[in-house]
Amino acid sequence: MDDFKALVVDKKDEKMSMEVKHIGLSDLSEGEVTISVAYSSVNYKDGMVAVKGDLAETLPLVPGIDLAGTVIASEDDRFQEGDPVIATSYFIGTRHTGGFSEVARIPSEWVVPLPDGLTFEESMKLGTAGFTAALAIQRLEENELTPGSGKILVDGASGGVGSLAINMLYDRDYDVVASTGRTEEASYLKSLGASKVIHRDQVTDFRGKATRTRQWAAAIDPVGGKTLQYILSSLDYGGSVATCGLAGGIEVETTVLPFISRGINWLGIDSVKYPMEKRIKVWQRLADDMKPSALETDISHEISLDELPDTLHSILQGEIRGRIIVKM
């Protein structure tokens, strides 16, 4: 198979370019497992790589941090031709050619067998966003969160991590408040399970207050910046925030006060280098007890490789609702 389609990003005269091209195996990074890609998905990080060149460690590059498909060749006995697999994160789509391609070649230590109970399509509706939402919920529950603890705030609610986190929490009987800059998406967010939808300005720290009224047993935060500042100042006693992202900024000003007077927990979530042994277990949970009910609904929509350039621009503008999967 030496002629297949892929999205290739490059930089010429300081300007990023994106083009769907015919390429061959020699254009792919080295790896033991060659995969016929069935689906990929679009994450915020893909926008940063493809549109801005941020996080792209080499160019030209086939981006796409997520992929699912069938093994067509393997130099590692753990994988055989015909095996269904998933590969997400590590250096896929940043340093190593990634999932926006009909064929991918991936180091075997980054490849996860597709768990029983998930189709290729479902695994990419989840993708890194769903994996990250699951990690965040797992981490909060390890920190004693239960459905009886109180309200959970999910911000960046209309995005991929946010939408999936809301629905996964709802399915686990949590009371979820969704914050969004797009209140016109309120009925969508309620359909995922949010009991209340608020505007993001209501959870943005415009005044630099160290503590304010205690409101949340926990929060899942893909936004960061002043939203995270607000959350740290408004968590309930012993509450936890799972920090996942930076869509609203990376700088956070806080003080020790909520930590020493309320015993709050600030938990970091990293999907990229999450160890393989534990990664396989999280994917199995996503097929079993954490599979979001909304995978059956309109939480995602499907595009082709040719539609990727526009979509990659849109995700950086905060214009994508839920998840986008790419059918090869």
Rounded to a whole number of angstroms, the minimum distance from the CB of residue 187 to ligand NAP is 13
The residue whose two tokens read 């390890």 is 142
Residue nearest to ligand NAP (CB): 159
User: Where along the sequence are the contacts to ligand NAP (CB under 6 A)?
Assistant: 43-45, 128-129, 132, 156-162, 180-182, 200, 222-223, 244-248, 269-272, 315, 318, 320
| 33 or 164: CB nearest ligand NAP | 164
The residue whose two tokens read 């595009």 is 303
| 132 or 215: CB nearest ligand NAP | 132
Rounded to a whole number of angstroms, the minimum distance from the CB of residue 252 to ligand NAP is 13
Asked if 117 and 291 count as a contact pair (C-beta separation under 8 A), the reply is yes
Cβ-count burial 251-262 (b if 16+ within 10 Å, e if not): ebebeeebeeeb
Asked if 236 and 143 count as a contact pair (C-beta separation under 8 A), the reply is no
| 18 or 269: CB nearest ligand NAP | 269
Rounded to a whole number of angstroms, the minimum distance from the CB of residue 184 to ligand NAP is 10
Rounded to a whole number of angstroms, the minimum distance from the CB of residue 123 to ligand NAP is 15
Provide φ and ψ at 84, rounded to 5°. -85, 130
237 class by beta-carbon count within 10 Å (0-12 exposed, 13-18 middle, 19+ buried) = exposed
Rounded to a whole number of angstroms, the minimum distance from the CB of residue 300 to ligand NAP is 11
| 31 or 222: CB nearest ligand NAP | 222
The CA-to-CA distance between both ends of the chain, in Å, stands at 15
| 173 or 270: CB nearest ligand NAP | 270
* Alpha-carbon torsion (68, 73, 78, 80), positive or negative: positive
C-alpha 221: how far from chain center: 12
The edge-to-edge listing of strands for the beta sheet with 216-221 is 194-199, 175-180, 151-154, 216-221, 235-243, 265-268
| 217 or 282: CB nearest ligand NAP | 282
Rounded to a whole number of angstroms, the minimum distance from the CB of residue 193 to ligand NAP is 15
| 120 or 188: CB nearest ligand NAP | 188
Rounded to a whole number of angstroms, the minimum distance from the CB of residue 178 to ligand NAP is 8
Provide φ and ψ at 109, rounded to 5°. -70, -5
Of the candidates 123, 91, 159, the residue with the CA atom closest to the CA atom of residue 323: 159
